[in-house]
Amino acid sequence: MTSRTLIKDIAAQPDGPVTVAGWVETVRDQKKVQFVILRDESGAAQLVNPATRELDPEGVSVGAAEALALTESISALTHGSFVKVTGQLKHDERVKLGGLEVKVGTLEVVSGALETPIAADSSLDKRLDWRFLDLRQPKQNLIFRVQTTFLHALRGVWIEKGLIEIQTPKLMASASESRAELFEVDYFEGKAYLAQSPQFFKQMAQSAGFGGVFEVGPAFRADPSFTSRHATEFTSIDTEISWIDSHEDVMALHEELLVAGFQAVADKHGDEIRELFGVEVTVPSRPFPRIPLAEAKQIVADHGYVVPRADADMDPEGERRISEYVKETYGHEFVFLTDYASSIRPFYHMRHEGDPSLTNSYDLIFNGVEISTGAQREHRVDVLVEQARDKGMDPEELEFYLDFFRYGVPPHGGFGMGLARVLMLMLHEHSIRETTYLFRGPTHLLP
């Protein structure tokens, strides 16, 4: 591997020789001195070179020729070119960029760049077309370092609790939820479907006696939406646990995971987020507020907004309104909406004992947007069959799934949560397109 020092690490080094490498962010080519801002994946540093514009007419020394060649090389640098530089590191508090400067000794252009087709103020669609260039921006880079820290913290909780990480297949023989949102693909002489979620397979792990599982992986929805919160392919954070008494146990784990994730992000990236995004990462307190859906609808109605359909889920405006209420009343950015009607929930959600019109389920709303659905699952196979029929599904197409429950399975439940939505709302961005590495939507398949 090419020997180099990450820019974030040079501050701890004494004055002296150093090698850095990255891409050219800016060049200030002045008459007597040249400055280059070099950025790598960890930060930026200022390079300096005393410019040599003319050679001694009475004789050209080797050193003078090399100095002229270096000056010309720097003058010719284009924005975005990747270069490797050796030189002398000097700590100088007068230098605005971290009080560090590297006097260039040698400069190697590893890969030159054409003029960049995007700018910081380019439209989001154009930036997405040139995503690999857009991601060089410090703000965009930070999103995915935050994502790494967040997921690492979640994994720490899962592993500490003894949960098992699984990787479920993304090709399925039948629908796990609504066939209307399935991508159908040719599969040899038949058809297959891209998985909407790992739901069936994480439930299978409960029947297998795993006790608890988690997965971070892709999910697919054939939803022709162009909103700021929808994608046709997204990263889903899923977990499923056995031996629960109700969906309250799932919510408790959900809270623990989010508190750990937000705490880790605040501790590691809080200052950078404040600088680049202008927002404060607030670590949520436990327990999160819980409001039954019917009560939440009444609250927003009392505050001037009626959800259009009484028999429907909370709509986006309702989610915003209930979040405002919770923020004002409880000082909290999260709220669990519970006790959803069975008519708007999947067939595998357990229904209330004594009131089959309601389910042991919830949606988690964060800063006005739904980020997750969770529930206690129905583990009694005869009840599952009837609930599938109620939803107009053919139990014969679900035989492989129903078999999971014919040979014994403990009471269990879990949730699925959209990673990009969490990051979008944490960083107060306006679209999951900003917080998705490579966005996929109805009209966006490249790069």
- Binding-site residues for ATP, please? 370, 418-421
In 3-state terms, what secondary structure has residue 356?
strand
The HSE-up count of residue 7 (CA atoms within 13 Å, CB side) is 22
The HSE-up count of residue 138 (CA atoms within 13 Å, CB side) is 13
Q: Where are the alpha helices (DSSP H) in 210-291?
A: 247-277
- Dist. CA 156–CA 261, nearest whole Å: 9
**DSSP structure string for 57-115:** TT---HHHHHHHHHHHHHHT--TT-EEEEEEEEEE-TT-TTTTEEEEEEEEEEEE--PP
Known binding residues are 177, 221, 370, 373, 377, 418-421
Contact 286, 251 (CB under 8 A): no
Burial status of residue 197 (CB atoms within 10 A of its CB: 0-12, 13-18, 19 or more): buried
**Cross-strand partners of 273:** none
Q: How far is CA 77 from the centre of its chain?
A: 34
Give 302-310's long-range contacts (Cβ < 8 A, gap of 24+).
none
Known binding residues for L-aspartate are 177, 221, 373, 377
Alpha-carbon distance values, 355 to 122, 340, 358 (Å): 54, 12, 6
Contact 5, 13 (CB under 8 A): yes
Gyration radius (Cα) of the chain, Å: 28
Q: Can you say whether residue 162 is alpha, beta or left, with left for phi > 0 and alpha for psi between -120 and 50 degrees?
A: left
In 3-state terms, what secondary structure has residue 253?
helix
- Dist. CA 123–CA 109, nearest whole Å: 30
By DSSP bridging, strand 351-352 and strand 16-29 are unpaired
Backbone angles phi, psi at 220, to 5 degrees: -130, 135
Give first-to-last CA distance, the chain, whole Å: 28
